[in-house]
Amino acid sequence: MREMQNEMRTLRQAARAGAAQPNPTTSTQEVAAPVGPESGVSLREWVGMKLDSFDGSGTPIQAADWLSYVEDKMEAFEVSAHDRVRYGAQLLKGEAQIWWKGVQSARTVAHGSLTWPEFVRQFERKFYLVTFLDKMKIELNKYVQERKIVAEYEVGFNQIVRFVPHVAHDDVEKARQFRQGLKPSICVGCL
């Protein structure tokens, strides 16, 4: 897979280098300026990969898992920042696609195009219900190691904490919350 990506990148670079050479019959005004770094895959290739789509049904955990899956694929296939919304939107269907069309129609030209971080915020706002997020805050405060080994406790902790942004994005608070749930025999003197 990596070899294929490297080969595709080499071919694109060669094509760009050839396109960058001005044609003597073309005026300099006709040469388009590059918009930004090109994605590692074209939109056609992205759609052709048959990646998992999201239809808006299911739980907030399934929505979060899909979003994480898409972000991992975008990283692996080097989808550029300016293409991420366009590529991600191609994987929406059903209720999620209807939601996306509404987001697009509500956004005026004055707002400019939506960035990927804005897309993620909008997505989370729609598919992570407030009641679910409140429940996760409570679950995080109650979550303890009990009979789990530390690795199992950590997995469960990470599943919950990703839905509690004020903890997930604050390393000090995240570590404090993690230690709080450990067995007292493991966490002697760490509070």
- List per-residue pLDDT tens for the chain, 191 residues long: 455 455 545 544 544 444 444 444 444 444 444 455 688 899 999 999 999 999 999 899 999 999 999 999 999 999 999 999 999 999 999 999 999 999 988 876 667 788 999 999 999 999 988 888 899 999 999 999 999 999 999 999 999 998 898 898 899 999 999 998 998 888 766 65
Q: What was the pLDDT predicted at 28?
A: 40
Residue at token pair 């987001």: 103
Q: What was the pLDDT predicted at 158?
A: 92
Strand partners, 54: 92
Q: What was the pLDDT predicted at 165?
A: 82
**Whole-number Å distance between alpha carbons of 69 and 30:** 40
Q: Interior CA angle at 145 toward 142 and 149, to 5°?
A: 160
Q: Which helix (H) or strand (E) holds 18?
A: helix 2-20
